[in-house]
Chains A and B, each alone.
Chain A
Amino acid sequence: MASDQHLLTYFTTMDNQGSIIVRDTPKLDLDLYISNYQGRSCFERLLLIGQCSVPLCVDALKAAIAEAKSGKDIQRYRDAWECMRIAAPDEPEAVFDQAWVTSTEKSNKVETHRLEAELKGYKNNLVKESIRIGHRDLGEHLEAIGDLNAASETYIKMRPDASTQAHIQDVGKHIISIMLQKGDWPGVSGNINKVLLNGSSEQQNADQPYQKIVSGLALLGSSKYYDAAKCFLETGDSTIAQQHNDIISLNDIATYGGLLALASMDRQELQSRLLDNSSFRTYLELEPHVRKAVAMFVNGRYSSCLAILESYQADYLLDIYLQKHVFTLFSQIRSKCIIQYFVPFSCVTLDTMNAAFAKPGESIEAELVSMIKSGTLNARINTIDKLLVAVSVNPRAATQKKALDTAKNYENEALERIRRMSLASAGLEVKGSHKIGGNSLPGVGDIWYESGRGQVVPSESAA
Chain B
Amino acid sequence: MDKLAPTLLAVPVEGPVDNATYDAAVKNHVQKLSKILKDQSGDIISHGSNFLELLDPSVHSLSYLAILHTLLIPGPATSVSRDTLLEKLLIFLLTFDPIQCRYAGSHLHDLFLLAGGGDILPPSAAVEALATAILRLDPTGSMLTTAHVCLARLAYSTNNVEPALQAIDKNIVFFPGMANPTEPKYLCDISLPPPAYVARETGLTGTLKPPQVMEYDLLCGLMYCSRREWAKAYAAFERIVAFPTREGGVSKIMVEAYKKWVLVSLLLKGKLVDTPSYTGASASKFYGSLAKAYTSIAVLFVADDARELKAEVDKNTTTWLDDGNGGLVKEVLAAYQKWRVLGLEQIYSKISLSEIRQQTTSAETGAPLAKDDDVEMLLQNMIISGMLSGVIEKNDDGTTFLTFLSPSTNLSEQGVAQELASSAIRLKQLQPLFKATRDRLGTSKEYIKHVIKEEKRIEKSEPDPTLAFDAHVDDEDLMGGVIATG
Contact = CB atoms under 8 A, between A and B. Distances in A.
17 contacts: A380-B404, A382-B350, A384-B351, A394-B409, A397-B408, A404-B423, A414-B430, A414-B434, A419-B239, A425-B179, A425-B441, A428-B208, A431-B245, A433-B249, A453-B215, A456-B222, A459-B321
A422 B153 contact: no
Nearest to A455: B157
A410 B408 contact: no
A408 B422 CA distance: 10
A35 interface: no
Interface in B422-453: 423-424, 426-427, 430, 433-434, 437, 440-441, 444
Closest 4 CB pairs of A and B: A397-B408, A432-B248, A448-B211, A380-B349
A187 B386 CA distance: 56
A73 to B, nearest CB: 49
A407 B424 contact: yes
A463 B214 CA distance: 17
A452 B153 contact: yes
Contact of B347 (A369, A421, A425, A455): A369
Contact of B174 (A410, A422, A446, A462): A422
A415 interface: yes
A446 B211 contact: yes
Contact residues on A (Cβ < 8 Å of other chain), bracket: 35 or more
A103 B339 CA distance: 72
Interface string A399-439: 01101100110110011101111111111111111000000
Contacts of B286: 441, 444
B376 to A, nearest CB: 15
Nearest to B426: A411
A22 interface: no
Contact of B215 (A404, A414, A419, A448): A448
B215 A432 contact: no
Given A400-B411, A401-B408, 5 more contacts: A403-B420, A404-B423, A429-B249, A430-B244, A430-B250
Contacts of A443: 249-252
A382 B296 CA distance: 34
Nearest to B399: A384
Given A448-B211, A456-B157, A425 B255 contact: no
Contacts of A429: 210, 243-246, 249
Contact of B423 (A411, A432, A445, A460): A411
A446 B251 contact: yes
Nearest to A457: B324
B154 to A, nearest CB: 9
Contacts of B173: 415, 418-419, 422
B278 interface: yes
B443 to A, nearest CB: 12
Nearest to B207: A426
B13 interface: no
Contacts of B178: 422, 425-426
A459 B243 CA distance: 23
A117 B211 CA distance: 80
B355 interface: yes
Contacts of A453: 153, 215
Interface in B320-352: 321-324, 346-352
A413 B239 CA distance: 12
B294 interface: no
Contacts of B324: 457-460
A432 B246 contact: yes
A239 to B, nearest CB: 43
Contacts of B171: 415, 419
Given A411-B430, A425-B441, A428-B209, A459 B322 contact: yes
A203 interface: no
B177 to A, nearest CB: 5
Contact of B252 (A385, A419, A446): A446
Given A398-B408, A403-B416, A442-B248, A426 B176 contact: yes
Select the residue from A397, A428, A457 with max chain B CB neighbours within 10 A: A428
Contact of B352 (A384, A420, A446): A384
Contacts of B210: 428-430
B349 A389 contact: yes
A373 interface: yes
Contact of B156 (A424, A447, A456, A463): A456
B419 interface: yes
Contacts of B239: 416, 419
A401 B250 CA distance: 37
A431 B247 contact: yes
A373 B426 CA distance: 39
A421 B419 CA distance: 29
A430 B257 CA distance: 14
Contact of B250 (A387, A403, A442): A442
Contacts of A307: none
B255 A459 contact: no
B254 interface: yes
A12 to B, nearest CB: 32
B350 A404 contact: no
Contacts of A419: 171-173, 239
B175 A426 contact: yes
A302 B474 CA distance: 69
Interface in B395-423: 395, 399, 401, 404, 406, 408-409, 411, 416, 419-420, 423
B358 to A, nearest CB: 11
A383 interface: yes
A197 interface: no
Interface in B223-276: 239, 243-256
Contacts of B395: 384
A431 B349 contact: no
B347 A442 contact: no
A133 interface: no
Interface string A351-389: 000000000000000000100110000001111110101
A437 to B, nearest CB: 13
A420 B349 contact: no
Contacts of B219: 456
A263 B283 CA distance: 45
A408 B408 contact: no
A430 B243 contact: yes
Interface in B182-239: 208-215, 219, 222, 239
Contacts of A415: 171, 173, 430, 433
A384 to B, nearest CB: 4
Nearest to A441: B286
A17 to B, nearest CB: 30
Contacts of B215: 448, 453
B350 A421 contact: no
Given A419-B172, A453-B153, A380 B347 contact: yes
Interface in B110-155: 153
A338 to B, nearest CB: 15
A421 B249 contact: no
A407 B352 contact: no
Contact of B427 (A381, A404, A410): A410
A371 B324 CA distance: 41
Contacts of B21: none
B40 interface: no
A441 B287 CA distance: 12
